[in-house]
Structure 1
């Protein structure tokens, strides 16, 4: 690794220069992301159908509560904070012997490598490091753009994503209709045309990659409850598709949220510079408009998308799902409201002990995020304790609470003796190509 004289060393942001408020938001979002990821670690395909249509079930109301207040919002908050992190990273690094551009892109390169390890070795296909690295490389180009232009990325991307999603949906819909017609002809013992035979083949490919049928779902569960090699053989191709085939469609949403984070940092929203009255206004508007939208959206889904079969039937009937346009707007309204409420709570000092623990979780976000996957894969997957598809919906959140408690306790203790979490230290050492100090 290269040697730099002390006066020319480019180094991580000093602890005294950190913004604890942003660390708190990052910590809160990280714990919330585990709440959203835990079903992917633990539940079989279509297992939600057992309770999401039963208002008499406790699991139904837990599912609705999480969907209304957290689904999509935690990833949005994390993306916003990641965007602000770009400006925090480049702060005070000019004139220190090493190009800040080179340092930043080396940082993103190593994040991308960590993402590949996370998805292909630890076997979590819902991981975001790879995606964030790609988005981060693009985001850096916009660091000097005025915030009034950056915020336009959110509505533009929302509409563009809806259009792109509708195009993809209509393509799948056409194949579904063709499949249904071919299946009907086959059931009537008619000789299938070449077009009908092709329709059966094409739908089967969609079942293998996107919409598993009931038998596929059973087979997938069996794979997830098997040894490491079997689980990896099932999950790695999915991860590769996400990181290659679907990447051009995935980056825009995350990039828009990061651009919003850049703007909010420049405006002082994420640093607590606004008045309490202004934060209250954001919270009132966010909850006032966002909650009715998401509640209506969930109510609509309850009536029209209750089962796999209902989804497929609805697909054949409806060429455009206009209700999907609600999602990006209710999510932004609610994540802004959540952020404003958390900032007000932090500034009030009412639960400062908990807030300080969230700050510590946020400062060790990389380590804590990867530890989520290590703990959950070893607890749920077949090569670990094999609790996959074994627990009720509410029970998986007992696991979440246990992990939250562990990280809220252990993170402050770690930072009492060390400057960084272990993976933060490794990432910084690789970024600066110099072993960083670890102990206090």
Structure 2
């Protein structure tokens, strides 16, 4: 195992630290894996492209175009399909893979320095607190809380064999995908197709209609609070009506997140992220995953378009029908970025890697910036921008992300939130400036 090798080399060098204090040392910059930083940079930029609709329009507009307050014409419908194919779920999937790899990478170094898994557990607890702050005070679409909770499940399994972790990840993901498909296809069939018009489904049709109406009504409350600039009213509404949503997200996304984290751990241990796989096979399987998965997403998107982008067809497309092709695309994109990223050496590529090294700061920082862009107490653009205009906001935010990350990391050891998370993890203040 890699952790054992690290401990052996440290002992051979005569530098085996005191186990009581050894794991206080943070990860050095020289120990970073370049491919992880590059993929993380692409993912954190792509997550904004996925989330921008929910930042600037009612939350359900993320899936359901009819909720756009500015209307959603034919060109925007095609953009919905383009985003569904290229972005939605893929960036989160990449981020989840990397989170799993990062769990093992962190523990590998802690073990090599004589530490234990309690350091990782505390680190995840701190992340969970960040997630709660993000959800209640900044943005409704937080992923940090349920990443931390799912991470609590993964950490005790890190000593398992890489092969066992790989199979648990694959089998668990397929099981979750089938379950999601069954759970989300049935509401679509009842609500939107002639198959659901049978009298036996009358009660369920009523319940589905009420569920849709309730979701839209809650979005209307959020819209009013955001457009009016009532920030504290919005926080109070989330605390009163949505206090359990972070836990709900654990169960809603857990059957995708947990297997992907296991896959991330296994792939890291097999050397996937560090270039140990054959280049030709990486390119073949990478392009195959992207092309086959992309074609399946296109077919789903065209089906939803033909169905009229109804509430339950879009929900089924996002949650029920896309997980399997999404896995192909996530693994394919990861393989291609690992294979090609060493050749992307220009200034832009370096800035993407820097954005990946400061991904935590960029993820939360973007949410804070979007507060100022969209809420009524600031620029007040919530509900005012159509889909193409929202993508302009994404492009400007990318420029900001790429502009600050590299010069900051040239002067400082970590991104600001990475530094804070590190200090809280180890219970001491580390030097920030180089």
Shorter-chain TM range is 0.7 to 0.9
Kept in 1: contact 2:293–2:326 (CA 8 A): yes
CA separation of 1:405 and 1:239: change in aligned 2, threshold 3 A: farther
Give the C-alpha shift of residue 91 in structure 1.
2.4
Normalised TM-score (structure 2): 0.83
In the comparison of the two structures, how many residue pairs are matched? Answer: 407
- Equivalent residue runs for 1:65-80 within 5 Å: 65-80=82-97
1:259-308 deviation digits (Å, cap 9, x = unpaired) = 11111111211112223212211123213321221111111111124234
* 1:135 aligned residue: 150
Whose radius of gyration is greater, 1 or 2? Answer: 1
* 1:60 aligned residue: 77
Select which of 23, 31, 34 maps to 1:17.
31
Select which of 170, 194, 211 maps to 1:206.
211
Give the C-alpha shift of residue 231 in structure 1.
2.1
Kept in 2: contact 1:119–1:239 (CA 8 A): no
SS at match of 1:244: helix
* 1:346 aligned residue: 341
Normalised TM-score (structure 1): 0.82
* 1:318 aligned residue: none
Kept in 2: contact 1:52–1:306 (CA 8 A): no
Give the C-alpha shift of residue 324 in structure 1.
6.7
Give the C-alpha shift of residue 118 in structure 1.
0.6
CA separation of 1:381 and 1:208: change in aligned 2, threshold 3 A: farther
Kept in 2: contact 1:119–1:236 (CA 8 A): no
* 2:13 aligned residue: none
Q: Take 2:242 and 2:47, find their aligned partners in 1: how far apart are those partners? A: 19
Q: Cα RMSD (Å) of the superposition? A: 3.4
* 2:432 aligned residue: 438
- Equivalent residue runs for 1:267-346 within 5 Å: 267-308=270-311, 311=312, 326-346=321-341
Q: Take 1:204 and 1:232, find their aligned partners in 2: how far apart are those partners? A: 28
1:374-419 deviation digits (Å, cap 9, x = unpaired) = 0001211223221010011111111111111111111011111110
The answer as to 2:139 corresponding to 1:144 is: no
Q: Take 2:155 and 2:410, find their aligned partners in 1: how far apart are those partners? A: 32
Q: Take 1:86 and 1:269, find their aligned partners in 2: how far apart are those partners? A: 15
Kept in 1: contact 2:39–2:94 (CA 8 A): yes
Which deviates more, 64-73 or 173-182? 173-182
- Equivalent residue runs for 1:415-426 within 5 Å: 415-426=409-420
The answer as to 2:405 corresponding to 1:408 is: no
- Equivalent residue runs for 1:100-119 within 5 Å: 100-119=116-135
Q: Take 1:160 and 1:306, find their aligned partners in 2: how far apart are those partners? A: 24
SS at match of 1:390: coil
Q: Take 1:172 and 1:301, find their aligned partners in 2: how far apart are those partners? A: 11
Give the C-alpha shift of residue 244 in structure 1.
2.6
Q: Take 2:226 and 2:341, find their aligned partners in 1: how far apart are those partners? A: 41
The structure with the greater share of residues assigned to helix is 2
1:57-91 deviation digits (Å, cap 9, x = unpaired) = 2x233322221111110000000011110121112
Q: Take 2:298 and 2:291, find their aligned partners in 1: how far apart are those partners? A: 12
Q: Take 1:296 and 1:204, find their aligned partners in 2: how far apart are those partners? A: 27
Give the C-alpha shift of residue 140 in structure 1.
1.0
* 1:163 aligned residue: 179
* 1:187 aligned residue: none
CA separation of 1:293 and 1:386: change in aligned 2, threshold 3 A: same
Task: Point out where structure 2 has 5 or more consecutive residues left out of the alignment.
Answer: 1-17
